[in-house]
Amino acid sequence: MAKYICKRLLQMIPVLLGVALIVFTLMYITPSNPANMILGDTATPEQVAALEEELGLNDPFLVQFGNYILGIVTRFDFGTSWFTGKPIVGELLLRFPKTALLAALSVVLSAIIGIVCGVVAATKQYSIFDNLATAISLVGVSMPSFWLALMLCLLFAVKLGWLPVSGSYGWEYWVLPVVTLGTSGAANIMRMTRSSMLEVIRMDYIRTARAKGQSERMVITRHALKNALIPVITVIGIQFGNLLGGSVLVESVFAIPGLGKYGVDAIKQRDLPAVLGSVLFLAVTFSFVNLLTDILYSFIDPRIQTSLGPSRRQKRAAAGKAEEGAA
């Protein structure tokens, strides 16, 4: 197992380098001139030229990229804000825990609701519960998260006054953001769990379990659910990525001072290094979550430990299905 994790960690390096390359390229091709942005409109051309030289903006692309990577690896330097002139890594680390908490709570909530509803819907196919859950999940995946955020605000904060609208001071501040972010996740996970369960329930080994005289509950939990969860885990991993993307909006709607809100504020201030720094940070987080789901995978599915072939194929297949629902 340790060997497998090491291998996966090594495989992550080129992917993360690639992500950094994308982010850096985006910074490089942006039409706005960093020196201009930092110095403001009042700067003289000489000042701009001097700063350009100082920032290394006249170096070739690859040299600049090398320095960027070197900065991240050796000094943990994700760049300097054009707006405040301070290194952004401090800001990112300060805000990361809020985003991580928000995403973790939402994933846990959506996984619990999604899996439970999916299993019940599949075992009682075509029942009222199944139809209702399927219909709600269809609406759930179709609803843009920021609109849901506004509507929940409107209902629970403005009209009913039960919950606070913005900030992050106590647990009650987290309810609406977590529900907002969790909704589409729960809907997607439910859809995947349902279809995966329906597929697994028809398998011969489920009939074998019944033929042993096993109780229906054990057939569902011990035999069916464990198998059905394999693609669901992939979906949960993908949902985590969607949540990180969604957190950008939800945090800014609910004024939670996390990475997402930082990024959005940076967009408004046209502070590109801060935007890309947050994106890179979130992408790295996502990669680690993916690694985690892969490891979880190999715990549930014994076929993966012996050969890595099926895992990738299964993951791709599941990911394909999951993406269709991801919105």
Partner 1 sequence: MKKRGLIRQNSPWMEILSRFSRNKLAMLGAIVLLLLILSALFADVLAPYGMDDQDVSQALQGPSAEHWFGTDKFGRDQFSRVLYGGRVSLRVGIVAVAVALVFGGTLGVIAGYVGGKVDSVIMRIMDVLMAVPGMLLAVAIAASLGAGLGNMMIAIGIGNVPGYARITRAAVMSAKGNEYVEAARATGAGNLRIILRHILPNAIAPVIVQATLGVASSITACAMLSFLGLGAAPPTPEWGGMLSTARDYLRTHAYMAIFPGLFIMITVFSLNVMGDGLRDAIDPRLKD
Partner 2 sequence: MNEMNDILLEVKDLAIEYRTRKSLVQAVNGISFQVPRGSTLGLVGETGAGKTTTALGIMGLIPVPPGKVAGGEILFQGEDLLQKSPAEMRAIRGKRISMIFQDPMTALNPILTVGDQICEVIRLHEKLSKHEAVAKAKEMLELVGIPGERYGEFPHQFSGGMKQRVVIAIALACSPMLLIADEPTTALDVTIQAQVLLLMNNLKKELGTSMILITHDLGVVAETCENVAIMYAGEIVEMGTLEDIYEHARHPYTRGLFDSIPDLDVEQDRLKPIAGLMPDPSALPVGCSFAPRCPYRTAACEAAPVGSTQLSPTHCVRCVRAGELAGGKEGGQA
Point out which residues bind partner 1 (CB under 8 A): 14-16, 18-19, 21-23, 26-27, 29-32, 125, 138-139, 141-144, 146-147, 150-151, 153-154, 158, 195, 198, 241-242, 244-246, 248-249, 252-253, 263-264, 267-268, 272, 275-276, 279, 282-283, 286-287, 290, 316, 319-320, 323-327
- Which option in partner 1, partner 2, none does residue 208 bind, with CB closer than 5 to 8 A by kind? partner 2
In the complex with partner 1, which residue's Cβ is closer, 25 or 84? 25
Bridge partner list, 80 = 87
| Concatenated DSSP letters of 103-118 | HHHHHHHHHHHHHHHH
In the complex with partner 1, which residue's Cβ is closer, 49 or 150? 150
Which CA distances in Å does 55 have to 35, 70, 79? 8, 15, 11
Cα–Cα dist 224/216, whole Å: 10
Q: What are phi and psi of 304, to 5 degrees?
A: -80, -35
In the complex with partner 2, which residue's Cβ is closer, 9 or 300? 300
In this structure, the number of other CB atoms found within 10 A of the CB of residue 263 comes to 25
Please, are residues 181 and 246 in contact by the beta-carbon 8 Å criterion?
A: yes
**Alpha helix locations (H) across 42-171?**
45-55, 61-75, 88-123, 128-142, 145-152
In the complex with partner 1, which residue's Cβ is closer, 268 or 302? 268
| Residue 166 makes contact with partner 2 by CB under 8 A | no
Reported as type and span, the H/E element at residue 35 is helix 34-39
User: Exactly one of 208, 312, 313, 316 binds partner 2 (CB under 8 A); which one?
Assistant: 208
In the complex with partner 2, which residue's Cβ is closer, 102 or 209? 209
Which tokens go with 324?
């269709």
Name residues contacting partner 2, limited to 261-300 (CB under 8 A): 300
In the complex with partner 1, which residue's Cβ is closer, 49 or 295? 295
Q: Is 126 left (phi over 0), alpha (psi -120 to 50) or beta?
A: left
- Which option in partner 2, partner 1, none does residue 210 bind, with CB closer than 5 to 8 A by kind? partner 2
| Residue 215 makes contact with partner 2 by CB under 8 A | yes
Q: Minimal distance in Å, beta carbon 199 to partner 2?
A: 12
Select from 141-149, 150-158, 220-228, 257-265 the region that touches partner 2 (CB under 8 A): 220-228
User: Exactly one of 128, 161, 211, 217 binds partner 2 (CB under 8 A); which one?
Assistant: 211
Question: What single-letter DSSP state applies at residue 163?
Answer: S
| Residue 207 makes contact with partner 2 by CB under 8 A | yes
In the complex with partner 1, which residue's Cβ is closer, 16 or 50? 16
Cα–Cα dist 107/293, whole Å: 13
Give the binding-site size for partner 2 (rule: CB under 8 A): 22
With 0-12 / 13-18 / 19 or more C-beta atoms within 10 angstroms meaning exposed / middle / buried, residue 278 is buried
Measured at the alpha carbon of residue 279, what is the angle toward residues 76 and 27, in degrees to the nearest 5? 80
Cα–Cα dist 186/113, whole Å: 6
| Residue 204 makes contact with partner 2 by CB under 8 A | yes
Residues that bind partner 2 (CB under 8 A): 203-205, 207-216, 223, 226-227, 230, 300-303, 306
